[in-house]
Chains A and B, each alone.
Chain A
Amino acid sequence: MPPESHYLMVSLVLFLVGCVGVLARRNLLVVLMGIELMLNAANLAFAAFSRSRLLVDGEIVVFFVIAVAAAEAAVGLAIVVALYRRKETVNLDRFNVLHQ
């Protein structure tokens, strides 16, 4: 089995890719994917640490996170649908009625 640090590296890269997706992309669906990537990066780290330390805690966390991510995606996609119905686009920059 590869050492723990390899898993940590992969999860760090996943986390950063997700972060960039949320911050730099303007399409709401891509932003949603970025958030999912970040959650899964955390899952990978939890599972890897759990495995290398022979603890079960991290693996339990992963199950909960998967369930919560599904609930979050359901609400997120509902918001995407509601936005699309209003303006026929999911580009974040087109939603700008709230400002000064």
Chain B
Amino acid sequence: MSPPLFGPDILRALLPFIVVAVGATLTTLLGAWRTRLGLAAAVAVLAVAVLALRGAPESVRAWEGALVLDRFSLVFMALLLGAAFFTLFLSEPVLRREGRVRAEYYGLLLFSLSGMFLLVSTTNLLMIFLALELLSIPLYVLCGYAREDDRSIEAAMKYFVLGSFSSAIFLFGAALLFGATGTIDLAAMHGGDRLLGAAGVLLLLVGFFFKAAAVPFHMWAPDVYDGAPTPIASFMATAVKIATFGLLLRVLSFAFAAEAHPAAAFLDREAAEPALRWIAILTMSVGNLSALTQNNVKRMLAYSSIAHAGYLFLGLIPGSGAVDGAGVTYYLVAYLFMTSGAFAVIAALSAREGGREVLTVDRFAGVGYRRPFLGLAMTIFLVSLAGIPPTAGFFGKYLLFRGAIDRGLTGLVVIAVLNSALSLYYYLRVVVFFYMKETDRPAAIDDALGFRLAMIAALAGVLWIGFMPDLFGLPGIPSLLGWVQASVSSLP
């Protein structure tokens, strides 16, 4: 008997998506009517979305996998909401400072968020394509939001060209996969034509790797992060990464669970594993080595986010076991806090001079003394990004690396640890400038409330996970690790 096409359960499962998509429309309309209402509407939409997530059912699968709401998608949607809140905090002061408070900004941000929601809750190739585009198209616009700025519009152009190029590659892969198997639901695919299927999967993954900025498909990321407005760069470094890794986790866990699920055998494990290993090694090494030579702190953070994607890839390699969903998700939680925090500090320091941002590291000399809290916060975020205890970054790495060793990937872990040691240099270099150098042209510091709130929230997350790695392990509140492990139990 086929499942019902519609019912109260499906309606409740759809509610989070409806709230964000309809909310995006309303936010745009309200913002067009009264510009000030844009931010209030966006916050209200996110708050309602939180409620809708809490009331959502935990196992709904409808319409050939076009809607899959399980604990995994709920956890990722919660993370995405967190990233969106951080971006809102950063956006308001930056827009105000630059005199760019316009109606469409918050609406576009929410549309992009609705695309990410869809991306982490589907196994249907058509839905994945739609979600990818819904995520990307508003971001192309947002990258070029400071349109009088050559850098911003150039970032929009580069992101647009490579983003739509990768979407087209993905779509062609999806077409080949459909031809090979006769279905567009990844979870329902049977063997079928091997050559066609293998070519399809290859193109599919290339499309995803572009979005995740994995080496060798990363060339766009530093330029785009650098040119885009800082809150948008933060949104791309956190939310887009979380959404793509959510999708990759789901797809690869289907693909690698082929023995348990013969229906999903469409990826040749012998061929895929070495490729993934190389991508992991290249992504972390190229990211870290390029970050070493950066003087521009925003570009340094862009390369650092590439390096972190490399560490995350460790969790996607099954080795002798299965894909490490819990490790990747836990790392993403830590990554969300530390990266949002670092970008909040950068946003506070990125006031324009003569129409352009000046973010070279020597301008930040002495910031640590002028603003002790900001200096301390940045130090903690950078130490966490480097993976030193007692911070969130350390426990994220610890879980990922230990999981990888358990699956027999010791060589990869050695490379990853060496990379982490390397990253210490460029992270601490910023701290050295904050506290130990002087300059006669100090950077302007913006003390807006939004930056402070974002820094405090990020700091709380980083330290809480750092001091109590089994976060929220208080009576009555489920632990973070338990929460993450329970969420990935719904993957194959």
Contacts and interface: CB of A to CB of B under 8 A. Distances in A.
Contact of B178 (A22, A57, A97): A57
| Size category of the binding interface on chain A | 35 or more
B175 interface: yes
Contact of B172 (A31, A41, A83): A41
Contacts of B368: none
A99 interface: yes
Nearest to B159: A79
A95 B224 CA distance: 13
Contacts of A75: 137, 140-141, 160
A57 B150 contact: no
A9 interface: no
Interface in B166-181: 167-169, 171-172, 174-176, 178-179
Among B144, B158, B171, B293, max chain A CB count under 10 A is at B171
A45 B140 contact: no
B130 interface: yes
Contact of A35 (B129, B153, B165, B226): B165
B: contact size bracket: 35 or more
A47 to B, nearest CB: 9
Nearest to B225: A98
Interface string B64-103: 1000000000000000000000000000000000000000
B226 A98 contact: yes
B171 A39 contact: yes
Contacts of A79: 140, 144, 153, 156-157, 160
Given A38-B168, A42-B172, A99 B223 contact: yes
Contacts of B223: 98-99
A64 B118 CA distance: 15
A76 B164 contact: yes
Contact of A42 (B158, B161, B175, B183): B175
A13 to B, nearest CB: 12
Contacts of B294: 100
Query: Which of B64, B147, B174, B175 has the largest count of A CB atoms less than 10 A from its CB?
Result: B175
A98 B154 contact: yes
A31 B161 contact: yes
B157 A38 contact: no
Given A76-B164, A98-B154, A98-B155, A49 B179 contact: yes
A35 B168 contact: yes
B153 A82 contact: yes
A97 B132 CA distance: 28
Contact of B153 (A53, A72, A83): A83
Interface of B: 64, 125-126, 129-130, 133, 137, 140-141, 144, 147, 150-151, 153-158, 160-161, 164-165, 167-169, 171-172, 174-176, 178-179, 182-184, 223, 226-227, 293-294
14 contacts: A15-B172, A22-B161, A28-B157, A38-B165, A46-B178, A49-B175, A49-B182, A61-B184, A72-B167, A75-B160, A76-B164, A78-B141, A95-B154, A98-B223
Closest 9 A-B residue pairs measured CB to CB? A38-B168, A45-B175, A49-B179, A98-B223, A42-B171, A42-B172, A42-B175, A95-B154, A46-B175
